[in-house]
Amino acid sequence: MEDGYEASGEFIDVLSGPPWQVLNDPVRAALRGVDPEHGPVLDVGAGTGLGTQLLADACPTATVLAVEPSPVLRAVLLSRVAADADLRERVTVLAGDALDAPLPERLGAVLAANMIGHLPPQDRREFWHRVAARLAPGAPLVVNLQPPAEPAVVGFTTFGAVRIGRHTYEGGGAAEPAGPDTVTWRMRYRVLDGDGVVLREHTVDYLWHVLSEHDLRAELAEAGLRAEVGPMGVVRAVRVG
């Protein structure tokens, strides 16, 4: 299977650190009340494990499943887990995706951060049902809304730049409508030296399925989940009844 993160994988972890600092409090708040007795907590599309680490920290006695399809990102995830004695004990890394990863009958929480746009609408609906069937009563699904909510042009923006040693790792992107509910994000990743000279540059296109708050609420309701939207577009959904 092709790895959509093959070229960008080198950059994702370092550039995701600052955005995760912003997501930290809203995601922790949305994870309130998790009961580890209900079952393992799941991070879907775990990437390099920044969210997995937060999930494990927010649920300090839970066992954790981290599902990640990209071999490059999974290598970073596994390295992060292996480097920490507590994570190493509690986190199992699964090579799979949102629909094919084997899941236990009951889950104590599900985190799906910065990833839902990868799923086409039909897969997304199947994913909500898959999760809703396993979430214990009161156990949260945490997912975030990411702009644009409709197919729209988004001008090029630099998302972040992190200096490591003599080099700066920089990421940015622009989006173009690509269909009734999709945009293409054209991402640009660069390595610059201390004088601002570009040493390397990679361009990667991602098809991204946009989702408005209204449609997300409707889809979750259809799967038997009631959603509450918090800061930074972080959504907490629990089973109705």
Ligand X SMILES: C[S@@+](CC[C@H](N)C(=O)[O-])C[C@H]1O[C@@H](n2cnc3c(N)ncnc32)[C@H](O)[C@@H]1O
Contact 137, 226 (CB under 8 A): no
Residue of 98, 187, 204, 238 that binds ligand X (CB under 6 A): 98
> Which listed range, 31-39, 44-52, 83-91, 222-230, lies at the site for ligand X (CB under 6 A)?
44-52
Read off the tokens for 125. 């609906």
Residue of 9, 26, 39, 45 that binds ligand X (CB under 6 A): 45
**Angstrom distance (rounded) from CA 102 to CA 117:** 21
Residue of 9, 26, 39, 47 that binds ligand X (CB under 6 A): 47
CB of 197 vs ligand X, minimal distance in Å? 28
Contact 201, 7 (CB under 8 A): no
Contact 185, 205 (CB under 8 A): yes
Q: By C-beta, is 156 or 193 nearer to ligand X?
A: 156
173 beta partners: 157, 187
* Residues ≥6 apart with Cβ < 8 Å to 51: 20, 23, 27, 43, 111, 113, 114
- Using CB under 6 A as the binding rule, whether residue 208 contacts ligand X is answered as no
DSSP state at residue 62: S
- Using CB under 6 A as the binding rule, whether residue 114 contacts ligand X is answered as yes
Chain centroid offset of residue 120 CA:
15
**Which residue's C-beta sits nearest to ligand X?**
47
Q: By C-beta, is 113 or 223 nearer to ligand X?
A: 113
Integer CA distances (angstroms), 66 to 54, 63, 218, in order: 12, 10, 27
Residues 62-91, mask of contacts with ligand X (x by CB under 6 A): ------xxx--x------------------
CB of 104 vs ligand X, minimal distance in Å? 17
**Contact set with ligand X (CB under 6 A):** 5, 16, 44-47, 50-51, 68-70, 73, 97-98, 113-115, 118-119
